[in-house]
Structure 1
Amino acid sequence: MLKGTLMELHDFLSPALKCKNTTMRAAITVHKRVVITLWKLAMPDSYQSVGNQFGVGKSTVGAAVIQVTNMIEELLLSRVVTLGNVQVIVDGFAAMGFPNCGGAIDGTHIPILAPEHQGSQYINRKGYFSMMLQALVDHKGCFTNINVGWPRKVHHARIFRSSGLFEKLQQGTFFPDQKITVGDVEMAIVILGDPAYPLMPWLRKPYTGSLDSRQELFNYRLSKCRMVVGCAFGRLKALWRSLLTRIDLSKTNIPIVITACFMLHNICESNGETFMVGWEVEANCLAADYVQPDTRVVSRVQDGVVRIGAALKTSFMTGQATV
Structure 2
Amino acid sequence: MPEIVINARKAAIGPGMMVNRILPFRMRRMVGPFIFMDHAGPVSLDAANGPGMDVLPHPHIGLSTVSYLFKGKVTHRDSLGVKQIIEPGEVNWMTAGKGIAHSERFEDPAVLAGGQLEMIQTWVALPEKDEETDPSFFNYQKEQLPVFEDTGLWMRQIAGEAYGLKSNVPTHSPMFYLHVELKKGFRLEVPRGFEERGLYVAKGLLALGNQQFASGQLLVFTKNEEPTVQALDDCTIMLLGGEPLGERFIWWNFVSSRKERIEQAREDWKQGRIDLPPDDKETFIPLPEEKFRRKDPPPEALS
Say whether the fold is shared (TM-score over 0.5): no
Relative to the length of structure 1, the TM-score reads 0.22
Please state which structure has a larger fraction of its residues in helix: 1
- The normalised TM-score by structure 2 is 0.23
Greater strand proportion: 2
